[in-house]
Every structure is written in C-alpha cells, then in structure tokens.
A = this chain, B = another copy of it.
C-alpha cells in the first residue's frame, strides 16, 4: 500500500524539521524534494541525505508541474515523502499535487512545517491577529510590474492592518528579491498611483533569513532602504498598519537592527 506524505522542512538549515517529519521521511520508501518554489537557508542536498540516511531525488519545476502524474503514480504502490521548504501547503503547486492524489484515492498526509507566515510577524514583534491578506511582490517582466501587492497593502492599511509581503523567489534561477529592491518597486508604483500607500516616511520592516541563527530584522522608513544591506536571501517585507503601543515599542527596539540574541 502506497501513500503521498508532504513534509515541510521549515525555513533554515535542517533544524526546523519536526520529529514527525523526520520520522515520516525515514520510514518512507522514496524521498522526493523540490526547492524551486522556495528554498531552505543553509542546507544542501548532501545535508538532507546525511540527516535522512537515504537518497533524495531532487525534482525540477517541470517534474512537478508537468509530470505530477508520475509522482502520484509512484505513490500508488510506494510511500512517497515529498519534502519542500517552509510549510507544504503554502504553495499552490502542492495543493494541486494533493488534489491529484486525493482524486485517485491514494492515502495522503500533510506534515506542517515552520512557515514565514507565522515566523515573520513574531520576529518583527507584531501581532499576527492584526495582519490582513498576504501578498507576493513579483520581479518585473520587462516593463510590466504587477500592482496588486500595492492594492493589497492599501486595502489592509485602510483597515489598520499589517501586510506580509513575500518577495519573489526563483530558486531554480538562483534569483531572490531583496528588501531594498522590493521597497524601490513599491515606491515606483506609488509614483504612478499616488494613493499614499508607501510614502518616503512610511516605516517598513525588512527581515532576512528568518529562523536562521544570523537572522536580521531592520525597521526603517522607505526613504532609507536603498542603503540598507540585510545580507543574503531570503528576504521578507512587512508594511505595518496601525500600531498598538506595544508593537510601536517593539519596532522602535528594532530601529537599528535586531535585539541581542542568545
């Protein structure tokens, strides 16, 4: 009897993996991994194989999106562990794979992973209950820049809510958007739209490598971000809405970088 088990690896190194996830991987017949929707900071395929004690087959975007039926077919007779960065169900592609397996009545299981959706608000010192809809800022394609993130931020701010802005990550091309680049894109949209969503003095929270020992959090107005270096990816941005005084103080303590770490 086979099955398809989605396992989230979390954000940084291999240390974010849960005991449940490790156990499932170790007892699976086949281990597949994809790192093109996101990637785990500071972990190589060799590291994974070392921890799991077995071979890991690395899948490309095409393997998953064009040949997902082959993964599902393999899961009919073997227990397949499909490991991914972060939480498995935050990527649409994985929902699609789960759907195919469910339709074929293959037993499935989702083992959640540490996710930027909860880790970023916590690292910033902001209340997760005050976040509106999340948005993703994409790399411009030629001259075209998708303005929907600007609209999501505007709607959230109008209701006093914070916005988690995920930054485009094309891991298969080793291309990861950095926080200063994201701020520049938002400012350029502001120049066109002029709806007062991201002004020069709008306070923005930039986060890098959340979950890793060298994670960084910096709070600064939009006008300063061109000269801020958060170090290597992955980066994330938060556009705060109305701040509770406790949140205001938390951001103030992060104005010149993260607080001291154990």
Contact = CB atoms under 8 A, between A and B. Distances in A.
Interface stretch (A118-126, A185-193, A196-204): A118-126
A117 B117 contact: yes
Given A102-B253, A122-B110, A19 B23 contact: no
Nearest to A250: B99
Contacts of A22: 19
Interface string A109-131: 11011110111011101011111
B129 A133 contact: yes
Contact of A118 (B4, B15, B105, B117): B117
A246 B136 contact: no
Interface stretch (A87-95, A139-147, A169-177): A87-95
Given A99-B249, A118-B112, A107 B18 contact: no
A175 to B, nearest CB: 21
Nearest to A155: B159
Contacts of A253: 102-103
A133 B132 contact: yes
Nearest to A244: B92
A134 B123 contact: no
Nearest to A125: B95
A14 B23 CA distance: 12
Contacts of A113: 114
With a 10 A CB-CB cut-off, give which of A96, A109, A113, A133 has the most chain B CB atoms. Answer: A133
Contacts of A4: 262
A3 interface: yes
A20 B98 CA distance: 28
B117 A261 contact: no
A87 B118 contact: yes
A262 B118 contact: no
A95 B127 contact: yes
A215 to B, nearest CB: 9
A118 B90 contact: yes
Contacts of A19: 14-19, 22
A259 interface: yes
Given A112-B122, A133-B131, A250-B99, A262 B18 contact: no
A60 interface: no
